[in-house]
Chain A
């Protein structure tokens, strides 16, 4: 039994979109320094699960805890818990009217009340780390997709998050830009960042995951270490999924 408090914990979370039951009694723990990858067929509820963690989606029942603290449905407390959890989206979602640098300093200054100067220095250090420091003064539309996504990762890092959620961070990218983003994520993982990642990149998943969660039809069907999952999937559904992926 692990006695440590998980950074992210979901307890019996249920969610419907109208009549559609998208999350069925989901319980999940992510511990500090862990990299958990969520796999599953399209429509199985991976994105919804990911977005539920910081309550971008409402839930019908169950509990979400960040560092052991229950996340309320609204209000200041929700905002301050959200600030602890970074999020990286498929479509980058950088603020279009700001420079890359301002994208990175906005929340640290406004939410964390870090001094402007310090925030800027930290931002430049992070942009350096993800390899887009030379783009700091440009606006998002002037960057390639891969550069935008790396800047978006840096924006999440600028909040000094306890964990980062990734929802298919490379799905909107041209093939030649996928690896530059995956490399940044791999380096984060080896630096001990806690991450919950939804991805269709199987090789990457196998390489970085400490644990794989396989979802189908709104349920967690299987949860195991990556080697076990990829070599000996337990469920019929996981086998079908892997076969379908490998035949591509």
Chain B
């Protein structure tokens, strides 16, 4: 089928799929971000078992393939009498994995903070959490806008896992499979999705570098 054929027949569905991908991406990234910050605080806190737990978390979810995690969530959890909807399973997988990378970025962002500033914060009488909240996390975030931008794009691509479960509405990748089982969209069906992924990624990248320029810390 030609692009115009595909669009006239499936145009609405492509738009719906794009919105679904955006929605999954936004939810996953927001949750991954919050979780990543939390895990990072664990990894630098004064209590050693918590630090170890944080490091362990990151090692696990940084290294597990997304499909493997999704299979575990969909097929293994029910054995533990835990049953989530397909959509929730996808969201969990697309949150846990990026959260580990988010934490890695934040850790490297923290390394850009001169140790003297931490000493100054302690000398001023700030508690651990005050120091984390006012000094460490803000600087770590502001120096990792570009890696976080890349992570947002990676998170979007990870949401294509949704195509592996019968989820409605479909995401961009799921729609390609759908079209190709109902008609012969072939490579063209995929190309349209790919173009939409790319356009979104470009938009994200552009916005990211704007933000980076605005918040980058002068040293």
Contact = CB atoms under 8 A, between A and B. Distances in A.
Determine if chain A interacts with chain B.
yes
Contacts of A96: 113-114, 117, 139, 217-219
Contacts of A30: none
B124 interface: yes
Contacts of A54: 123
A15 B177 CA distance: 68
A135 interface: no
A104 to B, nearest CB: 10
A91 interface: yes
Nearest to B215: A97
A107 interface: yes
Contact of A141 (B119, B130, B218): B218
B191 interface: no
B26 interface: no
A138 B124 CA distance: 21
B138 interface: yes
A207 interface: no
A95 B119 contact: no
A82 B122 contact: yes
A93 B121 CA distance: 9
A82 B120 contact: no
B51 interface: no
Interface string B90-122: 000000000000000000000001101101111
Interface string A82-114: 111111010111111100000000110011000
Contact-size category for A: 20 to 34
B135 A95 contact: yes
A106 B136 CA distance: 14
A42 interface: no
A61 interface: no
A82 B114 contact: no
B59 interface: no
B216 to A, nearest CB: 10
Contact-size category for B: 20 to 34
B125 A93 contact: no
Nearest to B135: A95
A93 B124 contact: no
Contacts of B130: 110-111
Nearest to A83: B125
A11 B119 CA distance: 24
A79 B120 contact: no
A79 B219 contact: no
Contacts of A110: 126, 130, 134
Contacts of B124: 82-83, 87, 106-107, 111, 155, 159
A139 interface: yes
A87 B123 contact: yes
B212 to A, nearest CB: 14
A187 interface: no
A142 interface: yes
B56 to A, nearest CB: 25
A213 to B, nearest CB: 21
A124 B91 CA distance: 49
Given A91-B116, A141-B218, A97 B126 contact: no
Nearest to A112: B125
Contact of A79 (B46, B116, B127, B139): B127
Interface string A110-121: 110000000000
B62 interface: no
A95 B122 contact: no
Closest 7 CB pairs of A and B: A83-B125, A93-B116, A87-B123, A107-B124, A93-B120, A141-B218, A82-B125
8 contacts: A74-B46, A79-B125, A87-B120, A95-B117, A96-B114, A96-B217, A97-B139, A139-B217
Interface of B: 46, 113-114, 116-117, 119-127, 130, 134-135, 138-139, 142, 217-219
Given A89-B120, A91-B116, A96-B113, 10 more contacts: A56-B122, A82-B123, A82-B124, A86-B123, A93-B117, A95-B139, A97-B139, A106-B134, A155-B124, A159-B125
